[in-house]
Amino acid sequence: MSTVHNFSAGPGALPPAVRHRLMEEFARGSHELPAIVEVSHRGARFLDIAARLQAALRRHLQLPDTHELLLMSGGAQSQFALLPMNLAADARAAYLETGHWSRLAIRQAGSSARIDIAGSSAADGFRSLPGVAPLAPGTAYLHYCGNETANGVQFAAPPVADVPLVADLSSEILSRPYPYEQLGAFYACAQKNLGIAGLTVVVVRRDLLERSPGTLPPFLSYRAWTAQAPMPNTPCSIAWFATLAMLEWLDGEGGVPMVAARNAAKAALLYAALDRSSLYVNDVEPAARSQMNVTFQLRDPAREAAFLAAASAEGFVGLEGHRAIGGLRASLYNAVPLAAVEALVAFLAEFERRS
Ligand code: PMP
């Protein structure tokens, strides 16, 4: 086995150049200046990284001045709780239920807001995407999960509603051009397309910050966070460093439009291979298929263990489905090269031939 092809759903693969910069950063601590994890987050070096990170994120997301960028910690799940506290306190909020992650978001939101399910695809096992039912008067926002990492379904475009849209974009941020400016708020953990775990990117339209109740502890308040930019407390500095390195790598690749074209090619190649096979199956409605997380099963699930063992022997890792769902999954984040998907497609054919 020579090359490792990493299809992990998250934490996901890093580009070799980014991994190298992380190694260099830790190595410099032993023989040069201290590494970034050993110096003050209020010092010049970290503040420079923070400023460059904010600028690079704003540029790649094409964020207008109307939107505030918050660099938080706690992962995407912490936002499941903070969002309703800040944007829908004592009000009602609507959610689309489209899979594992939006379900968890709904569960967390229930303790601070009254939640209406505006659409659900639970009845068909989350293999399609629902429409949006008329929203009750006074609905604070409509929340959706742009890409359901575990179920392999993705909204091709944001849903349409006459209230602010709020999106969990954890597993698709910066994977394709996206109308971020149309959203009232969105958030993403970093360990998929943005680097490593430890940083959570949160964007909120400035006028919505007014909703953040003054009674919230400042550490949980979006409004208080923006007043203490770039951070109120000690951040996971190596995660900020990794995301900056990732965005600089993205620049070198030609930016979002270039990786988007590659991502579309990777997904098309893999879905075509699954669709022409009589061993593997993806039963997501074609219009709802995720470009980032391709879920699939063996027609005979009893053979899954043999498949994973053979894949692992050939250097393919991270192909297990989400633990709550089972089956198989290949995640095709920005850092996954087209050549890895070509190799996977060849392996799928070879395993089928041998079966
Ligand atoms: N939302 C989505 C769409 C995810 O894929 C994940 C992680 N896989 C999360 C939320 C949770 O992220 P975290 O572990 O950073 O809380």
Mean per-residue pLDDT pooled into runs of 10, the chain (355 residues): 89 98 89 89 97 98 98 98 96 98 97 96 98 98 98 98 98 98 98 98 98 96 96 98 98 98 98 97 97 97 96 97 94 98 98 95
Atom of ligand 1 nearest to the CA of 169: 3
Q: Do you find a cis peptide bond into 177, omega within 30 degrees of 0?
A: no
DSSP string, 120-181: E-GGGTS-S----PPPPTTEEEEEEESEETTTTEE-SS----SS-EEEE-TTTTTSS---GG
CA nearest ligand 1 atom 10, residue = 76
79 lines ligand 1 (CB under 6 A): no
pLDDT at 28: 85
Q: What spacing in Å lies between the alpha carbon of 106 and ligand 1's midpoint?
A: 13
Atom of ligand 1 nearest to the CA of 148: 3
Domains of the chain, residue spans: 21-252, 254-354
Active site residue 266: no
Q: What spacing in Å lies between the alpha carbon of 33 and ligand 1's midpoint?
A: 35
pLDDT at 240: 98
CA distances from 284 to 19, 80, 129, 201, 333 (A): 34, 25, 10, 29, 19
Q: What spacing in Å lies between the alpha carbon of 111 and ligand 1's midpoint?
A: 19
C-beta of residue 199 within 8 angstroms of C-beta of residue 73: yes
Q: What spacing in Å lies between the alpha carbon of 150 and ligand 1's midpoint?
A: 10
Atom of ligand 1 nearest to the CA of 147: 3
CA nearest ligand 1 atom 8, residue = 10
10 lines ligand 1 (CB under 6 A): yes
Instruction: Give residue 77's identity as a one-letter amino acid code.
Output: Q
Dist. CA 69–CA 182, nearest whole Å: 15
pLDDT at 90: 84
Atom of ligand 1 nearest to the CA of 78: 16
CA nearest ligand 1 atom 14, residue = 75
pLDDT at 137: 97
Active site residue 249: no
Q: Where does residue 151 rank: exposed (0-12), middle (13-18), buried (19+ CB within 10 A)?
A: buried
**Count of CB atoms situated within 10 Å of the CB of 64:** 11
Non-local (6+) Cβ contacts of 84 within 8 A are 93, 108, 109, 111, 112, 113, 115
Ligand 1 pocket test target in 78, 95, 171, 290 with most atoms within 8 Å of CB: 171
CA dihedral (93, 129, 57, 26) positive or negative: positive
Atom of ligand 1 nearest to the CA of 197: 15
Give the domain 21-252 fold: Aspartate Aminotransferase; domain 2 (3.40.640)
Q: What spacing in Å lies between the alpha carbon of 279 and ligand 1's midpoint?
A: 30
189 lines ligand 1 (CB under 6 A): yes
Give the domain 254-354 fold: Aspartate Aminotransferase, domain 1 (3.90.1150)
Helix (H, G, I), strand (E, B) or coil at 2: coil
Q: Which two tokens stand for residue 248?
A: 């600089």
Q: Which two tokens stand for residue 74?
A: 């706690």
75 lines ligand 1 (CB under 6 A): yes
* Whole-structure pTM value: 0.98
pLDDT at 238: 98
pLDDT at 30: 73
Q: What spacing in Å lies between the alpha carbon of 38 and ligand 1's midpoint?
A: 28
Dist. CA 230–CA 199, nearest whole Å: 12
Active site residue 168: yes
pLDDT at 29: 75
Residue of 18, 1, 4 whose CA lies nearest to 335: 18
